[in-house]
Amino acid sequence: MEYKFVIIDHAFEIYVGAIALLFTALGIWLALKLSKPKLQTVVIEKEVYVQKPDPGFVPDEIQLTKMGISKREWEVLTLMSQGLSNQEIANQLFVSLNTVKTHGSNLFLKLDVKRRTQAIEKAKRMGMIG
């Protein structure tokens, strides 16, 4: 009996509370849907063929001098062309990783390129590496 009286006496408040809960749940759901960034990851796999340098190759010293590339930068460039990572180049030349990165960025500036592949391609066209 008391249950009926509570429902009848407070019917308006119960309806308002139910509607408030419904809109709160709808608001939370909508906020979660709209705030999630839709990220799409695209993975591109490409085979890269690395050629070993020709042991009889002689770099074009005139081009190296003209571009202002030092002997150490040229060594880094040739190791880059062999497909070695910065850490592998550092280990092979017995220098720090930061030194290799500095030489790499200097090469990119001097060759006016933005990526390793562009630097290697341009150096091959200019006769700096084999």
Distance CA 20, CA 28 (A): 12
Q: What's the angle, vertex CA 117, arms to CA 116 and CA 120, rounded to 5?
A: 85
Report the C-alpha gap between 73 and 104 in whole angstroms: 7
Mean pLDDT of the chain: 85
Here the tokens at position 62 are 């005139």
Per-residue pLDDT of 24-54, as tens digits, reads: 999 999 988 888 777 777 888 887 666 666 6
Q: Are 128 and 113 in contact (CB under 8 A)?
A: no
List of domains in the chain: 61-125 (1.10.10.10)
Specify the pLDDT at position 3: 66
Q: Above pLDDT 90, what percent of the chain?
A: 45
Summarised one tens digit per residue, pLDDT across range 54-87 is 666 777 788 888 889 999 998 999 899 888 999 9
Task: Answer with the residue of higher pLDDT: 127 or 4.
Answer: 127
Q: What is residue 24's predicted lDDT score, i.e. its pLDDT?
A: 96
Q: Calculate helix-pair angle for 71-81, 116-125, nearest 10 degrees.
A: 110
CB-CB neighbours of 98 under 10 Å:
10
- DSSP 8-state code for residue 52: P
